[in-house]
Structure 1
Amino acid sequence: MSGFDLALPGRVMFGPGRAGELAGLLPAMGSRLLLCTGRDPSRHRDLLGGLEPVAVVTAAGEPTVDDLRSATERARAAGADLVVAIGGGSVLDLGKAVAVLLGNGTDPLDHLEIVGRGVPVERPAAPFVAVPTTAGTGAEATANAVFRVPDRGLKVSIRSRHMLPAVALVDPLLTLTCPPPVTASSGLDALTQCLEPYVSPKATPATDAVAAEGLRRGAAALRRAYEHGDDHAAREDMALCSLFGGIALANAKLGAVHGLAGVIGGMVDAPHGMVCAALLAPVVEANVQALRERDPASPALARYAHVARLLTGSPDATVADAVDWLRGTVAALRVRPLSAAGLRPELFAEVAAKAAGSSSMQGNPVPLSEPELTAVLRAAH
């Protein structure tokens, strides 16, 4: 490794209570605020201080391309020059994409992959502040946003470094009210987003540092956060796991878990984190088996062994121990298998074929064939 790039938000503000600093940041960034929130727009309205939004848009679930276009039209009609998103990953994705479209004067289909023209984003986004209220997607530190295309059964993305927030304000106290199922699915997504970049061939010393620390903290804290939602230390560690996972994936890519989950998410209505959790142990097993058979000298095998030690806390842990830990954690957090998400076995071949060519596979440590991916789906079903 002779050199690397590291894409980061313009500023990261982390710590309990730091959401109280949001209002003081905004006057220097803009005066006409678009607020992106979840189902209840009033929930965190007090964080804005006296600044009244010129428009409010909500993301009640994973947003569609039509949701993005509608939100952008509202922002333009209101003359918004600043976007603040307070919520989970879907809310943050909607906010960052609106900010990019405001800054470029473009339409979603200009930049979206697969269903659009895929034109690169040329100009900076409107100032964008990301304030996550879950510890999961790491969207406060990623350079993409994901949208559903329901009539085509797809999830598609806009990708650009211009999508990195001007400010990522991460306050673990905002996650204290997350119910256990959300804590479980989002937390397992965060853990996955540290694990996949760590074993990626695109990993760098910088992504290794954050991914390994995210794995260590997340593994120690996830069950505590799930069982005791008011555990401040556990919530802080999970918020760091999510943030570090976002940084890691933005710079070292993801692997087969997300390659499959992205396809599945376009076909069935299931929480992204739940799908990732169901796939995680089977993908680790499939990758390790493929590496041992086809590339036994791969450094990814040593990385998986290190992952085992980080997850279990044992200096003697093996990859088999890591798989056992993952299965045990998924069971303890009551994550449902893919069968409960409505993914029928007759769809496995289609999912595997689509996933094999997806951009989310770029960080997988070994190419997996469609039969191998189908076997993963059977194991996770």
Structure 2
Amino acid sequence: MQGFSLLTPARTLFGRGTLSRAADEIARVGQRILLVRSGSVAWADVLAADLGARDVQVVLLQSGGEPAIDDVRHGVAKAREIAADCIVSVGGGATIDLGKAISGLCMSGGDPTDYLGVGKSPPPRLQDPVAFVAIPSTSGTGAEATRNAVITLPERQLKISLRDPRLVPDLALIDPALTDDLPKGLTLSTGLDALTQLIESYLCNRSNLLTDALCRDTIPMAITALRRLMDDPDSAARDVMAQASYISGIALANSGLGIVHGLAAVIGSRGGAHGAICGRLLPAALIVNREAMIERGHATGRIDQVDAWLSAALGTGPGDQQAGHGARSLRDFMDRHSLASLGHLHCGPEVWTDVAQNARTASSTKANPVDLSEREIARILELSELLPDRWTRSGVI
């Protein structure tokens, strides 16, 4: 029997109404709180007031999008200044990543870049992080359940993950009500991020018994819920996507990802939104991976199952059972709802060769179900921009 391990938040509270318990739960974790918050989540002010009413010291730090190394340095300095014994993040994946990085680095000496493997190999071991609480306001990255924090190094045009099992939150508090007012575009891109993580974790070469079970049950529900949220948003679908995001974080933390995230790490360093990049690449990655698996004599049962799930939830009309139809249906779904093209995500044809070359050695790519050549990776980029009707004419499906 295959061995496995399971890494999850020490404690998770999930469900509508959970926000009402947040202040009491956090007060049990720490008394000097650095509250890292997204400016768009007004409830963070309510939490700060509730904590103050419990005689908990709270200092606010506003996040400004995906954390750059200077943001991390500033946050670490602030946490040290107040001798924080708990970091709390309220916001999307970027805000959670910033809080997670501050938690992991504020007890360690030197510069944050020392721990990213920049100029040192291997990087030094982190000192034990301070307690960390994650409260997500989007359903996408699953950062509330992962052991890594993505940090941008602008001067190098790189995104690098700070990774350590001790970075998994001590408490993940997930109330889908925080996602109810998300704009349609953000709901789509973050939902596609969660869906991609689930699918890549299911297909990757490091999947195991537990991650398989989690992904197998969650992927079909997530596809259906995301479709519902684009057609007629409702709270039940929001709940499903919040659950899917959390489970996707657990899955990727305990298995791996694949070429989509390998490419997204490279493209995202150029400024494109991560969830939109993942969504835009996923259909073509499914097609190219399947072609490569057949060519190398690998079984395609899992990828065919994913395609069938996509067809069942998104497909229409004859041909729904044809191999690749699910990927085509996903592509049509994204186009119908105006997901940004690769060109608008700072990845036009002029950079495809460099992107494919760099993505081949990205850490996420190593878990792809099959080893793709640089040319096959470039084909994913090309197909992602090719109009779907030309997929059929050129024999893709």
Q: Does the 8 A contact of 1:263 with 1:351 survive in 2? A: yes
Q: Does the 8 A contact of 1:109 with 1:118 survive in 2? A: no
Partner of 1:309: 308
Asked if 1:97 is matched to 2:101, the reply is yes
Asked if 1:257 is matched to 2:260, the reply is yes
Q: Does the 8 A contact of 2:140 with 2:193 survive in 1? A: yes
* Number of residue pairs aligned between Structure 1 and Structure 2: 376
Aligned pair partner of 1:272 in 271, 274, 279: 274
Partner of 1:135: 139
Partner of 1:341: 345
Q: Does the 8 A contact of 1:212 with 1:310 survive in 2? A: no
Asked if 1:281 is matched to 2:280, the reply is no
Which deviates more from structure 2 when the two are superposed, residues 126-135 or residues 341-350?
341-350
Structure 1 unaligned runs (5+)?
none
Seen in structure 2, the aligned counterparts of structure 1 residues 195 and 318 have a Cα distance that, compared at 3 Å, is farther
Deviation at 1:213, TM superposition (A): 2.2
Deviation at 1:28, TM superposition (A): 1.8
Asked if 1:238 is matched to 2:241, the reply is yes
Q: Alpha carbon RMSD of aligned pairs, Å?
A: 1.9
Which deviates more from structure 2 when the two are superposed, residues 95-104 or residues 6-15?
95-104
SS in 1 for 2:7: coil
Asked if 1:28 is matched to 2:51, the reply is no
Seen in structure 2, the aligned counterparts of structure 1 residues 186 and 144 have a Cα distance that, compared at 3 Å, is same
Deviation at 1:65, TM superposition (A): 1.0
Asked if 1:188 is matched to 2:192, the reply is yes
**Matches of 1:317 and 1:232, distance apart in 2:** 31
Partner of 1:292: 294
Q: What amino acid is the match of 1:309?
A: A
Q: Does the 8 A contact of 1:110 with 1:117 survive in 2? A: no
Asked if 1:166 is matched to 2:165, the reply is no
Q: Does the 8 A contact of 2:307 with 2:326 survive in 1? A: yes
Matches of residues 218-233 of structure 1 in structure 2 within 5 Å? 218-229=222-233, 231-233=234-236
Q: Does the 8 A contact of 1:146 with 1:157 survive in 2? A: yes
SS in 1 for 2:201: helix
**Matches of 1:146 and 1:70, distance apart in 2:** 16
Deviation at 1:371, TM superposition (A): 1.0
Q: Does the 8 A contact of 2:41 with 2:90 survive in 1? A: no
Q: For 1:220-269, what per-residue CA distance to the aligned partner results, in whole angstroms no more than 9, with x for missing partners?
A: 1002223334x1100001111111111111111110000001000112x2
SS in 1 for 2:152: strand
**Matches of 1:66 and 1:47, distance apart in 2:** 26
Seen in structure 2, the aligned counterparts of structure 1 residues 125 and 106 have a Cα distance that, compared at 3 Å, is farther
Which deviates more from structure 2 when the two are superposed, residues 94-103 or residues 304-313?
304-313
Identity %: 38
Aligned pair partner of 1:350 in 326, 351, 354: 354
Partner of 2:62: 58
**Matches of 2:14 and 2:340, distance apart in 1:** 32
Q: For 1:16-64, what per-residue CA distance to the aligned partner results, in whole angstroms no more than 9, with x for missing partners?
A: 1112111111222110000111124754221341335542222221110
Q: What amino acid is the match of 2:106?
A: L
**Matches of 1:113 and 1:265, distance apart in 2:** 19
Asked if 1:361 is matched to 2:365, the reply is yes
Seen in structure 2, the aligned counterparts of structure 1 residues 116 and 167 have a Cα distance that, compared at 3 Å, is farther
Q: Does the 8 A contact of 1:305 with 1:318 survive in 2? A: no
Q: For 1:323-381, what per-residue CA distance to the aligned partner results, in whole angstroms no more than 9, with x for missing partners?
A: 12211221233111101223232211111111100101122000111111111112223
Partner of 2:392: none
SS in 2 for 1:4: coil
SS in 2 for 1:50: helix
Seen in structure 2, the aligned counterparts of structure 1 residues 22 and 221 have a Cα distance that, compared at 3 Å, is same
Structure 2 unaligned runs (5+)?
314-319, 386-397
**Matches of 2:113 and 2:161, distance apart in 1:** 10
Which deviates more from structure 2 when the two are superposed, residues 337-346 or residues 367-376?
337-346
Q: Does the 8 A contact of 1:210 with 1:248 survive in 2? A: yes
